[in-house]
């Protein structure tokens, strides 16, 4: 995943606490990527409700920026 990619948030166990915020599918564009100490990446995604941070495991790429 890279900055500019269109992504969809996978509403699973890790995002269960966000289900009330995202009725249905949440799509957005990656604005910023940051590698954590654990080696996993977190991405700032801008969507309908503003920007929000997500772990790379919570996101699925829909369309790559070309």
Contact 59, 7 (CB under 8 A): yes
Q: What is the pLDDT of residue 51?
A: 87
Q: Report strand pairing: 27-35 vs 6-9.
A: antiparallel
Structure pTM? 0.75
Cβ neighbours around 7 below 10 Å, total: 23
pLDDT at res. 3: 92
CA-closest candidate to residue 49, choices 32, 24, 26: 26
Q: pLDDT tens digit string along 20-65?
A: 555 557 789 999 999 999 888 999 999 877 888 888 888 899 976 5
């Amino acid at each position: 995943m890279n900055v500019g990619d269109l992504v969809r948030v996978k509403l699973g166990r890790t995002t269960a606490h966000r289900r009330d915020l995202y009725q249905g599918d949440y799509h957005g564009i990656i604005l910023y990527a940051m590698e954590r100490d654990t080696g996993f990446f977190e991405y700032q995604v801008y969507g309908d409700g503003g920007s929000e941070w997500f772990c790379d495991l919570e996101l699925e790429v829909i369309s790559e920026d070309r």
